[in-house]
Amino acid sequence: MLDVNNFEYMKIGLASPDKIRSWSYGEVKKPETINYRTLKPEKEGLFCEKIFGPTKDWECHCGKYKRVRYKGVVCDRCGVEVTRAKVRRERMGHIELAAPVSHIWYFKGIPSRMGLVLDMSPRSLEEVIYFASYVVTDAGETPLEKKQLLSEKEYRNYREKYGQAFTAQMGAEAIKKLLAEIDLDKEVDFLKEELKSAQGQRRNRVIKRLEVLESFRNSGNFPDWMVLDVLPVIPPELRPMVQLDGGRFATSDLNDLYRRVINRNNRLKRLLDLGAPDIIVQNEKRMLQEAVDALIDNGRRGRPVTGPGNRPLKSLSHMLKGKQGRFRQNLLGKRVDYSGRSVIVVGPHLKMYQCGLPKEMALELFKPFVMKELVSKGLAHNIKSAKRKVERVHPEVWDVLEDVIREHPVLLNRAPTLHRLGIQAFEPTLVEGRAIRLHPLVCTAYNADFDGDQMAVHVPLSAEAQAEARLLMLAAQNILNPKDGKPVVTPSQDMVLGTYYLTMENKESTGEGKVFSNPNQAIAAYANDHVTLHARIAIPPTSLGKTSFTPEQINAPLMVTTVGKLIFNEILPPELPYINDPTKYNLQKQVPDKFFIFDKGTNVKEFLENLPEHEAVKKGYLGTIISECFRRFGTTQTSVILDDIKANGFKFSTQAGITVAVADIKTPEEKQQILADADAEVEVVQQQFRRGLITDNERYDRVISIWSKAKDRVTKVLMASLDKFNAINMMATSGARGNVSQITQLAGMRGLMANPSGRIIELPIKSNFREGLSVLEYFISTHGARKGLADTALRTADSGYLTRRLVDVAQDVIVREDDCGTDKGVEAMAIRDGKEIIEDLYDRLVGRYSFQTLRHPETDEVMVGRNELIDENLADEIIAAGIEKVTIRSVIGCRTHHGVCKKCYGRNLATGKNVDVGEAVGIIAAQSIGEPGTQLTMRTFHTGGVAGDDITQGLPRIQELFEARNPKGQAVITEIDGEVVDMREGKDRREVEIRGETESKVYQIPYGSRLKVAIGRKVDIGEELTEGSIDPKEMLKVRGMRGVQYYILQEVQKVYRMQGVEINDKHVEVMIRQMLRKVRVIDSGETDLLPGAYVEIHEFEEANKKVLWEGRQPAVARSVLLGITKASLETDSFLSAASFQETTRVLTDAAIKGKVDRLLGLKENVIIGKLVPAGTGMNRYRNIKLQHDLMPAEETVEQSLVEEGAGLEEVSK
């Protein structure tokens, strides 16, 4: 048996005729498939058992030998070897073709490889191959040229003129002869000479030819193998024929295509034997050529061959292509056993790491385990009776199932799996009913809700798989989101509402100003209705058992708080400060002094009169608390705290009895007046327009602005009029559900709507939902609603496709070493858009390594050493010192081949610790950028017809950046430093002149674009002269790699931050690195590189190092920026590229070049079924041997490993 895991690389090449014959187990001579009476395969036909093996295990065709004891015997009557039937999936046959036939991939592909080798145009090739023209293969003494095309008439004339002095042929035979006569070395040398002088189109052609000929020379493929003498026949089980219910047969299209080839081939043989006239033979040869073309790639040339109902037949190429092809359907995605799916319902009682599994489902999923356990416990005599017991559901089965399930995690997955948190592991608990129970806190990660969503369950079988599920995938471990390092399991909805209600303050409540000696007393008073949750009470700080009070605070006699806050603080660990005021200061340091009564004689009620009411705990603050807990206490304790917050939140949102009633929605009285004022203002504007004082555009803009202001005023009045305890208000303010704009629509006014093109309709909707809309208002508002739905549908598909391209380009970026020792750092500063800060320096520094030693600007003491990790505290210090630029290590400057190193990547955002070697950071980056893609808007809303405003935003902008396309609304940028000295009007455009130190440049500015510069303004190289987006390729030319890297990063962040989505820079950097990893060779010097070829930067440097060492001339190359699709197709791995897009083109190219796939990325390994070289699949983690007798190492091992060891033993026992 072949062990895939020992593969080092995989090579692809052209198959020689001898190779094809060596694969084959026999020649297929007849087009017959199976006998219609006996339904047994016909001899020498397409399903022949003699060639392909027996149809039944251990049984020959005629039935002379049956049973396994005859294994390996070849039957003397029917010639079938007795063996397993599955060899019919492996054994190939062949067809000996009566005439050579060209392979359509090499003749029809773009560029035509045959055409390049022979230096003939594809047009003339086609004429020769399909018998329309003769080609001279040997000119002899005549003035004809080799490879000259002759028509039928010319051929006859020359024959009469020169007799047999020259040879001219037709069809693939002629091409084969020409290909066989090529001397590769001579051609290559000749082309290299020509390259020195060639220019323009000619040069491009020479480069292309050189590339193909070099690949033939280096790969050991012969050019004449592009013409087939022998056709392989794939194993019959891969093109099956099955009997349908009605006795009819369904067959794979390939069988029809093979039948046409065999029929035509046999007819041609017969015609040749009979010595038929040339014209008939030629016609038959042409038909054979077309039949083989259709078999290999139906529809590539001419009309496709159709089956019944005019459906084009699926050829071999179609079997590989597209989403349903072999690569994507079978090799990259497989169906698995031990899985089930069901509807999910909420399981509020579950712990963070648990899920509820329906009993019946669990029994079916764990069936083999239960059977084994039944036998080993002696409850069943053998496996068969155990199986019967399980199937009949005997009562003792349930107890065994409980035992089996304990400590055996299962994986839950919700489609679409947009990021790695879409599959997590849980410990199952058995539940009644048929629905899976899901913990409410993991819903955010899955993006799940309980309106009928379904989820799939998978069972990890091997001990290793269980250990990985438990240690890496358990839901309690996945608290942070890999895209920004923020907690993903923050409480939401009811939990937030409950907590908010619990921590609210209210002066008017019963029990305001009471004093208690300890929390229990206060809670008892609350239970007996002497005090409410919201009343502010006083309590001695000593009784709280918290460690973080200052000495003055702990000695103060009393601290003000509420019963609700006491209850809330009970669930937080004692090491955290008492949370009295939802601020960062209170969470990280201590309670502010204003809550303490320091003098013993103070009257509590008077003290409270002067103390304003404080905010309650909102959703955002709960997130901050969880982040802090994670930072201080790690995963396990955080998940316990989360469960407590959940229980508390549910409890108090239930007790609060918050609900939505019509009475809660009160329209403010001032609304009518505001509307009347706005109407009057609009009337004034209309009057100005009628008198011709303003243009229509100005009128439109002013009307829009009047109504926007009116709506804002209504909102303001409405929010001021709402009571703090108004249910809807509480839901919105706490962040549980809804927002201010929705409240405005309910109780204020709906305001302005946009029409489908994004233009705002100037007629506002004055009513709100409480009052009801008029017919016209309702009609106007349907516009927006429909557009919203259409957009969402489109966006989902687009975002999915973007993720797929991102994954493909970055799938081989894996952390491969500890430190690459790079000499390139990247300057980090706040990212700005004009004056506005999009991402501050703090966010860009945390979790990165410093590239150089950083000193305090005033005291000159070292703040961060070289190659030291910058954590939150250091980042705070750097910001406080007023430093604005820090050079950090970045993936962009990493020198690791095929991956990145730990230092350049920095901290793993999902764990908050250093990244491990083997982490697949490329995939994580792709998921982090792709997953929020669904939240980005599709198109721009433009207010009015203002030119220049209409630049792309949202998802299309992200695609534009990553595909490195020329942007819409392109800005003109300057290529020199200098100052603007002149602006003049040209014929049809304006001209801007910039004078630098050495030269001046004049830029043409098209009309309609808005200038950003004025005369006398200093401009830097690469700065925009007009509004709009810069073309990244221009940027690369002008400002080099650094400039374009910073520009793309800044633009991507701009789009995401505008939508309120935070993504860490690292992820974008990984993508930018992949887009810039190739250079284009301009002059090959004396290296083996080809001019015009794309080469990996480090390959280029290696090649140059080699020549420089020998004192010869190095090559010259230019950096190129490839879009992600192009970069994926340019990857070294042909398996990865072929499974991405343009399968046939990639394979054609790879076969000619004899490419070798080193299996470095993830996709290649998944395709051949090997363990992926990331995570625990890396070699360095595979064959670990433990030596027990050695002394323990000097360094102390982190505690987590010890715990993991414990977990592993439990799993494997």
What is the tens place of the pLDDT at every residue in 1066-1104?
999 999 999 999 999 998 888 888 888 899 999 999 999
In whole angstroms, what is the distance from residue 920 CA to residue 1161 CA? 10
**What are 677's two structure tokens?**
């004022």
Question: If you average pLDDT over residues 673-690, what whole number do you get?
Answer: 94
Are 285 and 268 a contacting pair, CB within 8 Å? Answer: yes
Alpha-carbon torsion (34, 37, 38, 44), positive or negative: negative
Average the pLDDT over each of 242-246, 562-566, 717-721, 1192-1196 and give the range with the smallest value: 1192-1196
Q: What is the pLDDT of residues 29-73, one digit of tens each?
A: 999 999 888 889 999 999 999 999 999 999 998 888 888 899 989
What is the β-pairing status of strands 913-914 and 907-908? antiparallel
Are 474 and 426 a contacting pair, CB within 8 Å? Answer: yes
606 CB-contact burial (10 Å; exposed 0-12 / middle 13-18 / buried 19+)? exposed
Other C-beta atoms lying within 10 Å of the C-beta of residue 829: 13
62 is in an annotated binding site: yes
pLDDT at residue 21, as a whole number: 96
Helix (H) or strand (E) holding 278: helix 278-297
**Band of pLDDT at residue 1189, cut at 50, 70 and 90:** low
Does the pLDDT value for residue 93 go beyond 70? yes
Other C-beta atoms lying within 10 Å of the C-beta of residue 773: 16
In whole angstroms, what is the distance from residue 822 CA to residue 810 CA? 21
3-state secondary structure of 94: strand
In whole angstroms, what is the distance from residue 590 CA to residue 578 CA? 7
Q: What is the pLDDT of residues 628-663, one digit of tens each?
A: 998 888 888 999 999 999 999 999 999 988 888 888
3-state secondary structure of 224: helix
In whole angstroms, what is the distance from residue 615 CA to residue 621 CA? 11
By percentage, how much of the chain surpasses pLDDT 90? 53
pLDDT at residue 1058, as a whole number: 85
pLDDT at residue 142, as a whole number: 86
**What are 163's two structure tokens?**
């007799």
Question: If you average pLDDT over residues 783-797, what whole number do you get?
Answer: 81
Does the pLDDT value for residue 103 go beyond 90? yes
355 is in an annotated binding site: no
451 is in an annotated binding site: yes
pLDDT at residue 552, as a whole number: 86
Q: Which DSSP letter does residue 759 get?
A: P
78 is in an annotated binding site: yes
Question: If you average pLDDT over residues 126-139, what whole number do you get?
Answer: 93
901 is in an annotated binding site: yes
Question: If you average pLDDT over residues 317-331, what whole number do you get?
Answer: 86
Residue 209, sorted as left (phi over 0), alpha (psi -120 to 50) or beta, turns out to be alpha
In whole angstroms, what is the distance from residue 386 CA to residue 218 CA? 62
pLDDT at residue 938, as a whole number: 56
**Band of pLDDT at residue 837, cut at 50, 70 and 90:** confident
Does the pLDDT value for residue 762 go beyond 70? yes
Question: If you average pLDDT over residues 109-118, what whole number do you get?
Answer: 90
The rounded Cα 916 to chain-centroid distance in angstroms is 21
pLDDT at residue 1186, as a whole number: 62
- Which residues are paired to 539 by β-bridges? 559
Q: How far is CA 341 from CA 353, 398, 426, 453, 475, in A?
A: 19, 21, 15, 10, 19
Task: List the domains of the chain with CATH numbers.
Answer: 339-366+408-473 (2.40.40.20), 494-656 (1.10.274.100), 954-1075 (2.40.50.100), 1078-1182 (1.10.150.390)
The rounded Cα 1181 to chain-centroid distance in angstroms is 26
Three-state helix/strand/coil letters over 960-987:
HHHCCCCCCCECCECCCCEEEEEEEECC
pLDDT at residue 1209, as a whole number: 38
449 is in an annotated binding site: yes
The mean pLDDT value of the chain amounts to 89
- Which residues are paired to 993 by β-bridges? 982, 1002
pLDDT at residue 795, as a whole number: 81
Q: What is the pLDDT of residues 403-436, one digit of tens each?
A: 999 999 999 999 888 899 999 999 999 999 999 9
3-state secondary structure of 1073: helix
904 is in an annotated binding site: yes
Which segments of 55-151 does DSSP mark as H helices, in order? 104-108, 113-118, 122-129
Are 92 and 235 a contacting pair, CB within 8 Å? Answer: yes
> Which pTM was predicted?
0.86
Is the N-terminal amide bond of 416 cis, ω within 30° of 0? yes
Other C-beta atoms lying within 10 Å of the C-beta of residue 769: 13
Lookup result for tokens 């221009």: 1034
| Residues contacting 120, CB < 8 A, separation 6+ | 114, 147
By percentage, how much of the chain surpasses pLDDT 70? 96
pLDDT at residue 1195, as a whole number: 46
Other C-beta atoms lying within 10 Å of the C-beta of residue 983: 15
